[in-house]
Structure 1
Amino acid sequence: MTTVEQRYQEAKATYASIGVDTDAVLKQLQEVKISMHCWQGDDVKGFLNPDGELTGGIMSTGNYPGAARTPDELRADLEKAYSLIPGKHKLNLHAIYLDTDETVDLNEIEPKHFEKWVVWAKEQGLGLDFNPTFFSHPMMKDGFTLSHPDKEVRDYWIEHGKRSRRVAEYFGKELGQTCYTNFWVPDGFKDNPVDRLSPRKRLMESLDAIFSEEIDEAYNVDTVESKLFGLGAEAYTVGSHEFYMGYGLTRNKAILLDAGHFHPTEVISNKLSSLSLFSEKNLMLHVSRPVRWDSDHVVIMDDELQDIAKEIVRNNLLDKTVIGLDFFDATINRVAAWVIGTRNTQKALLKAMLEPTAELKELENKFDFTARLAYTEELKDFPYADVWNYFCEQNGVPVGLDWLKEVQAYEKEILATR
């Protein structure tokens, strides 16, 4: 018996004393797929126009060496990251990450331009999610895309949206896993607008046009994502939370909540239970970490991450929630960022699963707030890390900080040569 297994057995007994079966918990955690985002690997440049300027409220800061420059380099970096993360997961692709020798624009993309990604995903045992790219392109005019007053601009982006859904359908059919296609549109004004209604009406109509083509939801599920503001759109964002909540509920689309897309003191953890009551579709999350604004920092084990996980687990929403990540940091090793963020998300879920949820709810229903507080506070000292380390060992990935040694070796051998 290894030291890790021995400590797990001790932790197992500790949790059993409060009625928690750690073996059952680990079996449950094994089934959770995290949709890890491709854009951490190259600072959101993509391969359509990798030398272009980031626009649409997006900015990546830092110049840490070793960013992926080609699809092959990005896939190699992703493989390294996945090898250090327990379980089998998904990859979230943006449309600008197409892999083709053809010269193709966003309104011309087809499934064949992503065929290499599908071949790779099959080899790796991964699913794929997708995002149309409504930024960093000359046809983003005056800070607007689908809500632009010029019909020619809107039509360009409508076509891109339609083609993106067909790519997603292809992913779903080929990989046997539903592809979640997320629509985020950065349109907005830097200063106070006079007319807030008309852009939202145009966005609504453009989205209706995109979704007019029926696609089997066994292969593709559409999601819509709101945002409070972005760089260059500080005063007004067309696709606000209220807009997309209304749109998603009335059009039967999945609603995506991004942890960094709300007011600085507003959190998404408190929204999950309410939204779950009214949305027929699965909820989708972009787990991120804002620092005063939507700066998409690497996910850490902070209070909000743990609260998100608790809301999902305590309310039996695991089967109704699709968990994706969204952050990019060019000041640190990009592979390490993926590993830190994804493992933290899994750890937070594990901590929530290790609670005696039924007993805690029973105490609450009896208005025994004293015992409820005592339990939730004492649980903070329970040995969840010993359960996590055993989970890693069972999945054949490094325990503790051993993963960092592998990333450092990969940086020295691969990233430093780029």
Structure 2
Amino acid sequence: MIQPDSATVSSPGLTSETPRYPFAALVGVPDVQLALLLVAIDPTIGGVLIRGPRGTAKSTAARALADLLPGAPFVQLPLGATLEQLVGTLELQDALRDGRIAWRPGLLARAHGGVLYVDEVNLLPDALADVLLDAAASGVHTVERDGISQRHAARFALIGTMNPEEGELRPQLLDRFGLCVELSNPSTAAARAAIVRARLAFEADPAAFVAVHHLQQQALRQRLQRARQALGALIWSDEIVAQACALALQGGADGLRGDLTLLKAARAHAAWQGKTAIEFADLQAVAPWALAHRRGGVAQAGAQDAASAITPPWQSAPPQRTSAALPDGAAPQASKPQGPLSSHAEAAGEADWGALPPQPVGVAPPLAQVPGGWPTPKP
């Protein structure tokens, strides 16, 4: 039976707790912000894993996303949770006494339509992690006990965070996360100062800090809602599917899950940018997050460097990109992106497009060049 205090479950606007740090006020983590938005647009991507050292805003970013989903629950899975707490239980005593089946929802059902957050996911028991990732990818879960089956919706944005210094995630589980974003400590004093100033301002007066970013938050909510509505109208052309598979192959991704995730993430990226069609630039923008952790290791180059190193075999020059900036409160327009939540692909296009020597795959010649800075595929 689920105890009332077994997890953190809240809905924006329904509690009197201290306001959450605004998503729009996050500083220095544009990759994390965009990856979280993509999973919120299309939860079937399979969640996002945020890896990084202590104190790099991993938990803050995860909690902030929930405020962009009006009325959506935010559920945090505690490390000590049991399988019954996660999936729910069928109360057989009620069935024996009253002749009816009583189902007690678990955390998966309570997170439906919102965010399910797992801190230190690398320390989570494998049995729980398997069930969690299955539900995140399929959007449904089935509880079975003593011949009785209960199927329920479990469509949520899964966010896992971990500190690699505390242990790695099993490769089998790592592969189950749709996207993986690597965080590092700020590299300059100016970057650290900007983060510290924002945090001090929030702690001094949370309500005032949230009010300052209210318009930005509202614009993000509206843009996110438009992207979710537009998702179904975007289809994968044969050319896009071929390009995605070529990127996965030249990136050395194990299995086909990376190909599927890459296509879903690219579609969500196109929806976020307000496009009417999925382009190669969308694939390139999300490829490092969808593929790098599926190459037998998680040591990945910076997302921008990795994206810029991916060149399709039929293309010798970087693609021309168009993306949509987000003016305050305005709908996306086809213009150059600006700000931390703009297209990740813009930065990717500024890097060097020089090629590395081709790497053989088995006895066949390579289809394309291995992206620079990514780990060497396992033999």
TM-score of the superposed pair, with normalisation by structure 1:
0.25
TM-score of the superposed pair, with normalisation by structure 2:
0.27
Higher-RCO chain (CA-CA 8 Å, sequence separation at least 6): 1
Richer in helix (by share): 1
